[in-house]
Structure 1
Amino acid sequence: MNQQTSNLEEVKRAPMVAVMLIGAFVGLLNETLLATALPSIMADFGILETQVQWLTTAFLLTNGIMIPISAFLIERFTTRQLFITALSIFALGTFVASISHSFELLLAARVIQAAGSGIMLPLMMTVMLAIFPVEKRGAAMGMAGIVISFAPAIGPTLSGWLLEFFSWRGLFYVVLPIVIIAIIVAAIYVKNVTKQTFPKIDILSILLSSFGFGGLLYGFSSIGGHGPGEVSSGINGTALTIIIIGAIILTLFIIRQMKMNKPMLEFRVFKYPIYSLSLIITAIVLMALIGAETILPLYMQNTRDFSPLDSGLMLLPGAIVMGIMSPITGMLFDKFGAKWLAASGLTIVTATTFLFTNLSLDTAFSYLVIIYAIRMFGLSLVMMPVMTAGLNQLPVEWHPHGTAMANTMQQVSASIGTAILISLMTTTVANYQPDQTQLEGLTEQEAMAQVAGNAAISGYTTVFWLATILSIVGLVLSFFLKTKKNELANEKAA
């Protein structure tokens, strides 16, 4: 521990934090970087929506498998070793993606990327908790919040702009040199600030974790992994079986961890009620964030015939709002705590999500821009304050496990949420029954276009109704968070 303190005194904190933020930024950026590029990839490889979504789902799936293992890795290796290795793996996946000439190779590259990305985010958050005292964590985590919130938000905009000039492979050409520079800077500035306890490798725990979390995510993702006419058979058959098997394996993993003196992932973090509550709220918020960023580009490009750049520009003001607000929200958290910030933010999220249930075939571009930007403002008041409030409940020695668990739940909720929303959308479209009176006087071609457009709108409307209900649940739960007094009490306990 003294060595860690010495390292903190020797190294410049700012460059180390900066390069870790950059590493986590490019990792999270790639969660949504392909959002506006999905139609182009579909056309390039001749695949369907339900297939191309796996480029996002597989990324989240692999993250969901790697993040639980990250707690073990953080305690086993130095900060420097682990961060540089994670960046290098991510760089390899990015390079493979940039030269992919088949959907299968591109999908494999996304898996490799996520294997590195899944380590970087929990490591960054653990380092933040290690080098900043409780009273300054809000501001520090606010900086992390720029990464966690802004990176996925700016992904669709950046890809939309790049697609005006390059093919979808250009998205990876842009990211690769940034990652290489980050590796070089990390080799200079990153020092070890985390505590190494050298836990023994428990192969059975790693296998149970991988197949449990992986099976659960794969099963839910497979619900939407069929054509519209096959959705119901997927839910009733293979997907449901995989979900059940994944849940059983995950239960065995949890039982094993509870019995171990030094578990790979510490599930006793859930004995802290505010921590558990913060994970539930964060999961709901992330489903709302990722869901909108997946559905809106599909609505704009496939239903409204907007270009990828237009789709990205629609999301840009919201991304900017999120980036500006994250550090401000962090400072507000240090002063007031999470409760009222979260309640205010979720009220805004609920209202704006409800407004998206009114999408039509002629909804104004300005309406989409304004409502989405206001929605992102609301999300910025929730994300990092709630997460920081939860992590502050935990003792120092459980921080790696707390951050790993938090990030695991985020990836699980994002992956499951995306799959459920896509599945709900495709099911609604498949079961849409047109009003025949609206088709009178139209040619056959006009009637088909009208039916297809209305069917798609019904799918988007259903999705945003579900998102509205989830937002209301999150809003109710936010009133059970504690005020600043609880943070101060926890500081004394720590």
Structure 2
Amino acid sequence: KKKSFNWLAYAILSAGMVSLVIGVNQLSKGLKNWRLWVLLILAEILFILFVRISKRSTSKLLDLSVFEDRAFIFGACAYFLLQFINIGVSFVLPNYIQIVNKQTSLIGGLVLLPGSIVAGLLNPYFGRLYDRLGAKVPLYGGAFLMALGSFLLANWGLSLTTWMIICFYGILMLGHRMSFSNTMAQSLKIVDKNLKADATAVCQTAQQLAGSMGTAILAAIIAVFQNKQTGSYATLTAQGSRIAFYFTFGLGILILVCDCV
């Protein structure tokens, strides 16, 4: 059966997401920046409009009944936050190494490599862990490691060495790999069979949005400190990075809460 595509809902949803991301980017200019609030309000209006159109239209871009499942909502939130921390921290650390530690861009990129390789190699094992022991062990363990990695980065945020970054980022990446795919698998497992396609679309969209949001928000946090006139650029960058890491630590705790619910 041929179904028509709801281009209007697609355009409204896309415009809402673009407005949200651009609005978040305005955070670096302060809360008094009128563009920030205009764009965020516009995004909210567009999202509300999308919901109303989706409920009335016979050609639905997304079946919103997927959000009636409370367990799925918490799973999707955890999935979003996992990618938010992953991409956000991956953006902050190379900049930290170059600006604060005065290393080259090559070193800035290479410090992320060991943790990524080890976590990637262990990814199949984490899948088997989910199959054998269920969701709790990889989800709780992964969220704990991500929170721990973020806390270690924040605790030593003013004086991180290259080797400390390699170790702490490795812990964070192990947590991400342990939880990420398994969180999506568990989220899709709990929804009705007829809603699995819509649930997959929600998770995949959340993943993409989390990447852009993570980079924008953490960059904005650091930029607020960099714009101060009370210290060297390197010191201010370290201070901003430390707050950004504490922010991701809070999100790691939130992931644990979502997994528990």
Which one is further off, 255-264 or 268-277? Answer: 255-264
% identity of equivalent residues: 24
Which structure 2 residue ranges, 5 or more long, are not aligned? none
Determine which structure has greater relative contact order: mean sequence separation of CA pairs < 8 Å that are 6+ residues apart, divided by chain length.
2
Q: Does 1:201 align with 2:5?
A: yes
Equivalent of 1:232, from 19, 26, 30?
A: 30
Give the deviation of 1:462 after TM superposition.
Answer: 1.0
2:101 to 284, 292, 304: 304
1:417 matched residue in structure 2: 214
The answer to whether the Cα contact below 8 Å between 1:266 and 1:398 also exists between their aligned partners in 2 is yes
Cα distance in 2, alignment partners of residues 206 and 352 from structure 1:
38
- Quick check: 2:5–2:59 contact (8 Å CA) kept in 1? no
Q: CA deviation at 1:371?
A: 1.4
CA distance in 2, matches of 1:394, 1:345: 22
Calculate the TM-score normalised by the size of structure 2.
0.92
What secondary structure, in the 3-state scheme, does the structure 2 residue paired with 1:381 have? helix
Answer whether contact 1:337 1:385 (CA < 8 A) is retained.
Answer: no
Aligned twin of 1:462: 243
1:432 shift after superposition: 5.9
TM-score with structure 1 setting the length: 0.50
* Maintained 8 Å contact 1:216/1:246: yes
Q: How many residues align?
A: 260
- Please give the secondary structure, in 1, of the residue aligned with 2:254: helix
**Matching residue of 1:359:** 157
The separation in 2 between residues aligned to 1:428 and 1:364, in whole angstroms, is 21
SS of residue in 2 equivalent to 1:388: helix
2:233 corresponds to 1:452: yes
Kindly provide the CA deviation profile for residues 157-194 of structure 1, in whole angstroms up to 9, marking residues without a partner as x: xxxxxxxxxxxxxxxxxxxxxxxxxxxxxxxxxxxxxx
- What SS is found at the alignment partner of 1:199? coil
Structure 1: 5+ residue stretches without partners: 1-196, 225-230, 435-450, 481-494
Measure, in 1, the Cα distance between the counterparts of 2:228 and 2:250.
22
**Structure 2: distance between partners of 1:198 and 1:393:** 29
Shift in Å at residue 414 of structure 1?
2.4
Cα distance, 1:341–1:419 mapped onto 2, change above 3 Å: same
Deviations 1:213-247 (A, max 9, x none): 222222223434xxxxxx127x5311220111111
Contact map agreement 1:274 1:389 (CA 8 A) in 2: no
Aligned residue identity for 1:300? I
What is the identity, as a one-letter code, of the residue corresponding to 1:452?
Y
Cα separation, partners in 2 of 1:246 and 1:206, compared to 1, 3 Å: same
* Equivalent residue number for residue 474 of structure 1: 255
Which whole-Å CA distance do the structure 1 matches of 2:196 and 2:257 have between them?
27
Structure 1 match to 2:172:
375
Partner SS, residue 98 of structure 2: helix
Query: Is the Cα contact below 8 Å between 1:342 and 1:382 reproduced in 2?
Result: yes
Q: Is the 8 A contact 1:221 1:415 kept in 2?
A: no
Task: Say which one has the larger Rg.
Answer: 1
C-alpha spacing 1:202/1:345, structure 2 compared with 1 (3 Å) = closer
2:52 is aligned with 1:258: no
RMSD over aligned Cα atoms: 1.8
Q: Distance in 1 between matches of 2:109 and 2:103?
A: 10
CA distance in 2, matches of 1:432, 1:457: 14
Residue of structure 1 equivalent to 2:139: 342
What are the within-5 Å matches in structure 2 for residues 76-475 of structure 1?
A: 197-224=1-28, 231-232=29-30, 236-357=33-154, 358-361=156-159, 363-431=160-228, 433-434=230-231, 451-475=232-256
